[in-house]
Amino acid sequence: MKNTIFTGAGIAIVTPMNQDGSINFDELGRMIDYQIESGTDAIIICGTTGEASTMSDEEHLECIRFAVERTAKRVPVIAGTGSNDTAYAVKLSKEAEELGADGLLVVTPYYNKTTQRGLVAHFTAIADAVNIPIILYNIPGRTGVNIDVATVKILGQHKNIVAVKEASGNIGYTAKLIAECGDLVDVYSGNDDMIVPVMSLGGKGVISVLSHVIPKETHMMAKYCLENNFAEATKLQIEYLDLINSLFIEVNPIPVKEALNLMGKNAGPCRMPLYPMSDENREKLRAVLAKHNLV
């Protein structure tokens, strides 16, 4: 079995923004420190939640550089370097490695999409270009492409392809993935409402949005699973299900940034085309945060 990048709860961290849309690195540093001090097991920078799709090349690389330096090897830093342009994904992945990232999160090509044979070629080209581990990111709801289990089985033969972030929401697919590829790749839940179900099947952890607001509890939920204490893990999964759902009441990361702002953090706005929450949904979110004594 290949080396595991991390076990437990990693955070798909937001990118705090100033009101003019520029990146607030001071707040990002505070968030990274708070997460590590609260037990979070890995920092995932420049993912979907981090709004990487609206970053310039310079911003993307500066965020990775900053996260690596601020984290200072306390926990692994995993950099999002996926693209629907294979050559660009290769370039970005090589640069992230040079900046000191411990691993890469690489999403399936979106919009232009590709075939399963194309996925093999795409991910292999990226994996051949670097010497750090890669997590395949399966999120068909955003990309329109699902990685077949048979495709993961092929890709898992590559020494640098070590894991899958599974965010299809299909527990049957996840079970098949772990059953057929569990000796080749680790599996992380990409959905906070499925941490316990995925880990009960053998998943190694979660790449989480929930960790922004309750990092200690999210860490403990995953830790209980790793200890086979599914009774306690399930209690936490159920207790915070309403909070999880409220963080996805609109398109991620709109609600989690709003939640952080309501909690007194300085996450700032999202970049267009992501748009501020409706007043109605903001009040629903505030009510759930209040119920859990977070505001």
Catalytic residue among 91, 113, 159, 165: 165
275 is catalytic: no
Q: Which positions of the chain have pLDDT values less than 50?
A: none
Extract the tokens encoding 125.
């080209």
What is the pTM (predicted TM-score) of this model? 0.97
Measured from the Cβ of residue 208, the count of other Cβ atoms closer than 10 Å reads 32
User: Where do the domains of the chain lie, and which CATH numbers do they carry?
Assistant: 8-229 (3.20.20.70)
Contact yes or no for 240/211 (Cβ under 8 A): no
243 membership: H or E segment, kind and range: helix 241-246
- What pLDDT score was predicted for residue 44? 99
217 membership: H or E segment, kind and range: helix 215-226
137 is catalytic: yes
pLDDT digits (tens, 9 = 90+) for 182-239: 999 999 999 999 999 999 999 999 999 999 999 999 999 999 999 999 999 999 999 9
Catalytic residue among 113, 137, 216, 291: 137
Number of alpha carbons in the 13 Å side-chain half-sphere of residue 40: 27
Number of alpha carbons in the 13 Å side-chain half-sphere of residue 20: 2
